[in-house]
Chain A
Amino acid sequence: MNLKLKSPISTAIAIGVGVVVLLGYFFGGDPAGELTTLGLLRDFLLQGAIVWAAVAMLVGIANLASVHLGKVRADEEGSFSFILLLSLIITLGVGLYDIIKTHTDQQLNFQRTSWIFNYIQLPIETSLMAVLAVSLTYAAVRLLTRRLNLLSAVFIGVVLMLLIGAVPQVAALAPLFAEIRNWILQIPTMAGARGILLGVALGTIATGIRILTGGDRPYRG
């Protein structure tokens, strides 16, 4: 058998660290409630994971900036990429200034960053959510006109029933509607959600075990 192991160091690290954290879940505390060595090691690694995930996010943002910088240089939709970079740099600059001010004044001083958040990020985010209402309506109509079968009819029927039942006046005039709505939410929806959650959990465990046994190695590259 010709076993060719690629990236053995990274694989060993992933398996070792993962097994320690996983065992820490089961044997992390003694009967007296004190943390064992395994528990302490698990806590250190989890604490470290927060820091490393934060650094990884900064690396991701740096990658976003470099991709758009490349687009600006290649003049491929360069003006929008330039605007993106400009807004990123301005936000970063203002934020760094606020961080320095906070440290020098020894009190929270994030008015400028909050201004950007409240007057630029929040309105765009809320508006995108609002536009979603139009997109969802369009999607539902398309489902009805192009792919009408028993399951899509069940889907649309449940949506309509829940939406109509959510109107307080309807619930007051026709209590049966509200009762049917509550039954749909508490029984069939709960059954489906529970099945989906259990399925996702089993899938997560299977994927996790594949990583911890070296079957999947998403860290190469």
Chain B
Amino acid sequence: MNAAEMSIADLSGLLLSFSFTIFVFSYIFGDNLLFRLATHIFIGVAAGYASIVTLYNVILPQLILPLLSGGRDEMFLTISLLIPSLLLLTKISPRTSRLGNPAIAILVGIGAAVAIGGAIFGTLFPQTSAAINVFEKNGFINGTILVIGTLATLLFFQFSTRGKESSLTGMTQVANALRWIGKAFIAVTFGALFAGVYIAAITALIERFIFLWTFVKELVLPALLR
């Protein structure tokens, strides 16, 4: 960072970055005006940026440009995409929003099918086949822990309603004990996830401190000492 070699745009950008970093860090002392200002600007900018990326990468090349310069087949295909898109736009106003229901239904139908397909081919088959081969790769003890952990965790996700405590049979008591073991495995997994997120957050914190320190050392202090 050298102020003399920087353009006005870069310099003002760095000043903005510095200010916004301080504004967000002020949240450490509690919710305040500066933090709210930063988050509201962030939401506005992020929404605007997402709109621009969507317009440039999806809407323009797939919905607008083929209509303007595409062949007959392409135009026919684009019109079939355009009709549900226009119906979706009716969702903006509460008065016309009912017209958009069929378009939402198309999205929901496709989403449900993709979710089922993804769950079967992306998770269920690969994870089940990996669980089958645990003894070959991990040995007997680790393999047993993996199998018990997987089954106990899976058992914790009960998709039906639970019976009353008084009506518990021996089998359900075993299932309950396994569920408790599953809870312990979930605690270990969430602990690992927590540690991962914590390391990422600490990395971001260090990066921001380095930025603040570099900004003060190379731009603020030389200006004050001049």
Contact = CB atoms under 8 A, between A and B. Distances in A.
Given A10-B104, A65-B47, A208-B112, 9 more contacts: A13-B106, A48-B81, A88-B44, A95-B49, A95-B56, A122-B17, A137-B198, A186-B142, A208-B116
Contacts of A155: 187-188, 190-191, 194
Contacts of A22: 113, 116-117
A184 to B, nearest CB: 7
Interface in A182-221: 184-209, 211-212, 218-221
A63 interface: yes
A99 B14 contact: no
B154 A61 contact: no
Interface residues of B, number: 114
Contact of B113 (A21, A99, A202): A21
A1 interface: no
Contact of A84 (B40, B56, B127): B40
30 contacts: A9-B105, A15-B109, A17-B105, A17-B106, A18-B109, A25-B113, A44-B77, A49-B110, A49-B111, A51-B62, A52-B84, A55-B88, A57-B54, A64-B47, A65-B47, A87-B48, A89-B48, A91-B51, A95-B56, A96-B52, A117-B49, A128-B24, A130-B207, A188-B145, A189-B192, A191-B149, A195-B153, A195-B157, A195-B186, A212-B109
B132 to A, nearest CB: 11
Nearest to A116: B45
A177 to B, nearest CB: 14
A58 B112 contact: no
A156 to B, nearest CB: 7
A66 B49 CA distance: 18
A138 B148 CA distance: 33
Given A18-B112, A18-B113, A132-B201, A81 B40 contact: yes
A102 B209 CA distance: 36
A165 B40 CA distance: 38
Most chain B CB within a 10 A radius of its CB, from A62, A102, A185, A192: A192
Contacts of A172: none
B187 A118 contact: no
Contacts of B114: 21, 46, 49
A47 B146 CA distance: 39
A157 interface: yes
Contacts of A11: 105
The 6 closest A-B pairs by CB, nearest first: A195-B153, A191-B149, A91-B48, A158-B191, A87-B44, A95-B52
Interface string B97-139: 1000111111111111111111111011001101100000010
B58 interface: yes
Contacts of B113: 17-22, 25, 208, 212
Nearest to A212: B112
Interface in B26-83: 27-28, 36-52, 54-56, 58-60, 62-63, 77, 80-81
A120 B194 contact: no
Contacts of A123: 16-17, 20-21, 208, 211
B75 to A, nearest CB: 15
Interface string B201-221: 110110110010000000000
A105 interface: no
Interface string B148-190: 1111111011010000000000000000000000111111111
